[in-house]
Amino acid sequence: MNTKVKRKANKYKKTKTKDNKKKQNKTDKTKGDDSTVIKSKYLENYEENNTKLNESKKKKYKKNKNVSRPLTKKEELAIKKKKIIFKFTKWITLLAILIGGIIYAMLSPIFNITNIYVEGNLKISSETIISLSGLSINENIFKFRTSDIIDKIKENAYIDKVEIKRKFPDAVEINVYEREATFALEFGNGYAYINNQGYILEITDSNAEFPILEGYKTTTEEIKEGNRLIETDLENLGDVLKIMEAAKSVDANISDLITRIDISDNSNYIL
């Protein structure tokens, strides 16, 4: 009996020692794995720190490299001279290009006028307006000043406003705004047509059925195409326009029946 018990006890001890050895081997393995993980992490951190240090050193080196010594007066003067020379040459080249472009535009046949258009004219013919302008076919489109052309066309009393447009490369457009005759003055053996603003538009032998203003104060010397009535006549003309508007509001055709208006007495206009 005793021998059996002893054998069992020995077997139990042996199995227990084997189990303990296995556990110890496992723990040793896990410790070894942990240590390798720690080593690898440590190596990674070490490499990262080294790269960061190298980068910071490179940056510092670049900064130190860029920091230059203070310039001497001679060096400063030399730099200023270079800048001045550079600016001067730049502006000279730009000016030369501009002058060359202007000369080319003035001489090139591409910019010769081939068409002149007139818009907005009813009373004055297009041929008359072109003749007044002084523009001609095959003239260079850059050779005239628009202000000069406007002044020439406005010599005709019927022309109130003028707009000139260059239509590149070879056309010119003239837009005109005309005055309209509304009244007539008896002048010598003929008549002087005027508009609502008192501009004398035309002196003619016949009356185109406009209402005739009598008793005006403007002298015969002042009655010329393009001139305007004197101030007192302009005031009386304004009153006449109000009377005509009032008459039209009553009867649209009543103004056609008014043939003469005496404005000699501004307190008593006679129709």
The rounded distance, in Å, linking the Cα atoms of 213 and 94 is 64
Token pair 């030369």: residue: 96
Is residue 17 scored above 70 in pLDDT?
A: no
User: Which is it for the CA torsion 119, 120, 126, 131, positive or negative?
Assistant: negative
Cβ(215)–Cβ(265) under 8 Å? yes
The reported pLDDT for the residue numbered 148 is 96
Query: Computed from CA positions of residues 196, 239, 260, 263, in that sequence, does the dihedral angle turn out positive or negative?
Result: negative
Chain center to CA of 220: 50
Residue 108, pLDDT > 60, answer yes
pLDDT value of position 5: 46
Residue 1 CA to residue 229 CA, distance in Å, equals: 160
Per-residue pLDDT of 183-213, as tens digits, reads 999 998 999 999 999 999 999 998 888 999 9
Q: What is the pLDDT of residues 160-174, one digit of tens each?
A: 999 999 999 999 999
